[in-house]
Amino acid sequence: MGAVTSSMAAKFAFFPPNPPSYGVVVEESTGKLKLTEVAAKENVDILKLPTKKGTEIVAVYIRNPAAMLTVLYSHGNAADLGQMYELFIELSHLLRVNLMGYDYSGYGRSTGKPSEQNTYADIEAAYRCLEETYGVKEEDVILYGQSVGSGPTLDLASRLSRLRAVVLHSPILSGLRVMYAVKRTYWFDIYKNIDKIPLVECPVLIIHGTADDVVDCSHGKQLFELSKQKYEPLWVKTGNHCDLELFPEYIIHLKKFISAIEKSTSFRNVSALCMNQIDKPRSSTDCRPRLSTDQREKSRLSTEKRELRTSTDQRDKSRASIDRKEKSSKSVDLSDKANDNTEQPEKARKSIDRFGNMMRSAVLCNIDCFKPVGANV
């Protein structure tokens, strides 16, 4: 039955880029694998991982020397590692995490054909590599699933009791529910996230655009309600399915989440922290409409200044005064900046600007993913 389901789903649910955006070659000098069409980085490993389904998937592992946590990222539809590579590099840098991304079977240079069951085997192979090759512990892993990637992400998360956290980016309730407002789960449906998320024991952050015309924002909101350990969600006003990374609040909220998870010393502390985040008044940066270019520049600068808890007047004061403020501050964002040798507002703003500019040239997913011909979402 599962094979029939996957066969039916593969006809409309998977859109691997054709041709792939990259190649995989062996460096003669080192004998290591490298991706073509992207810039080689010393802190990036290229891997080929066997899966229990008999396929071989391509993965990238990005090391960050300041990392406490590791993100396992399952990307969206109609994308591959070549297109996601620069985003992964930037996320690892800005969030100060190690990051592994992988291509599903049949995507990029991974062998085999795309199917629901194959994606479950794919993420298991990537997770096993983190444990066996890099010595990553389950409690130090954050699973990140974007769009169709929310399927394998929640499937694995529902089976890991000590997982640190989950991020769901434009997630789906199930494949069928993207197309039709069904009230029950059918055997032929795929990625039954609505049934799996209540089994996830760790904190869950959900990010969804309110103007998503592929996967309605109601999917994210219902998954939020069904989560056991809720973290303050991010509903991006006017955000669509494939552009959330372009909004400044996206990276700001993610950084806040990662910092909170890092600072939690136990699972219970994380749970209490999550509920406190939800009880607090919503920040204006969590849900604001798109602004003009000038307004966005001012808004980003203002937001980053608030994160650093410093102003032009404060910078003009004596160094001793600033040191006292830095030592006494308990804000998550200030701690992040202090660890980065006290980044200045202009530097932080430019970092987010570079992130947005980079994302404008990236192809993240097919806007028609999950949408068969003639169907209305």
Are the CB atoms for 193 and 154 separated by under 8 Å?
Answer: yes
Can you spell out the DSSP letters for 123-138? HHHHHHHHHHHH---G
Q: What is the DSSP letter of 365?
A: -
Backbone angles phi, psi at 9, to 5 degrees: -65, -40
Backbone angles phi, psi at 329, to 5 degrees: -70, 140
Radius of gyration of the chain (CA): 21
Strand partners, 58: 48
Select which of 241, 243, 299, 336 is catalytic.
Answer: 241
Question: DSSP 3-state assignment of 199?
Answer: helix
Is residue 253 annotated as a catalytic residue, yes or no?
Answer: no
Is residue 241 annotated as a catalytic residue, yes or no?
Answer: yes
Report H helices in 203-283. Answer: 217-226, 248-263, 267-279
Are the CB atoms for 130 and 136 separated by under 8 Å?
Answer: yes
Select which of 189, 212, 243, 333 is catalytic.
Answer: 212
Backbone angles phi, psi at 368, to 5 degrees: -100, 15
Select which of 21, 74, 92, 147 is catalytic.
Answer: 147
In sequence order, the 6+-apart residues with CB closer than 8 A to the CB of 355 are: 90, 94, 245, 251
Which amino acid does the sequence have at 287?
C
Catalytic center residues: 147, 212, 241
